[in-house]
Amino acid sequence: MATSGQSPRVAQEPSTIMSRLTYLWVKWVNQIYLKGRDWLEYSPTNNSSWSWRKVCKIKELLQSQFIQQVWREEKGHEYTIARGYEFLRSKGEPVSWAKLVWHKYTIPKHGFIGWIYQLGRLNTNDKLYRLGISEENNCYLCGRVGETIEHLFFDCDYKDDIDL
Ligand SMILES: [Zn+2]
């Protein structure tokens, strides 16, 4: 139990653990991938993992901005995390349904499901069956027909009973 004037030990541990994990990751990357090579010159091999190639691609994209001097030491042009994020994030065309899905009063779970629905990416049993992940395509709720997005939201006998 912490005494007055001392910070509780538990409160300090997460940052210490994260610091050690970060250090371990950096050490692991240095030993496994870089092997003493310069990070700025490094390119991943074809048999590198997808995630590692993605990290390297992001490094190259950010590096290109520094080379082109988009970010430099002049005031107003310096690199910030916000500018880096803004550069890296994908900027698609605005969609008409965005305000229906991403509204301040929308329950986040509903917004996420609405977003995935609009993109046609809900993993219905019908889709999972076509991908070979599910052994059958029937609706889990009624079992009558294939579980498609249209069936789940507009045709299923249980559509009104689902509490999203
Ligand atoms: Zn159904």
pLDDT in tens, 18-52: 677 778 888 989 998 999 999 989 999 999 999 99
Is there a contact between 109 and 164 (Cβ–Cβ < 8 Å)?
yes
Backbone CA torsion sign across 23, 26, 28, 30: negative
C-alpha 107 – ligand 1 centre gap (Å): 24
Residues in the chain: 164
Residues 121 and 154: their CA atoms lie apart, in Å, by 17
Tell me, rounded to whole angstroms, the distance of Cα 144 from its chain centroid: 35
The domain ranges of the chain are 9-88, 98-155
* Identity of the residue numbered 61: L
C-alpha 135 – ligand 1 centre gap (Å): 17
Residues 92 and 108: their CA atoms lie apart, in Å, by 21
Is the whole-model pTM more than 0.75? no
C-alpha 101 – ligand 1 centre gap (Å): 24
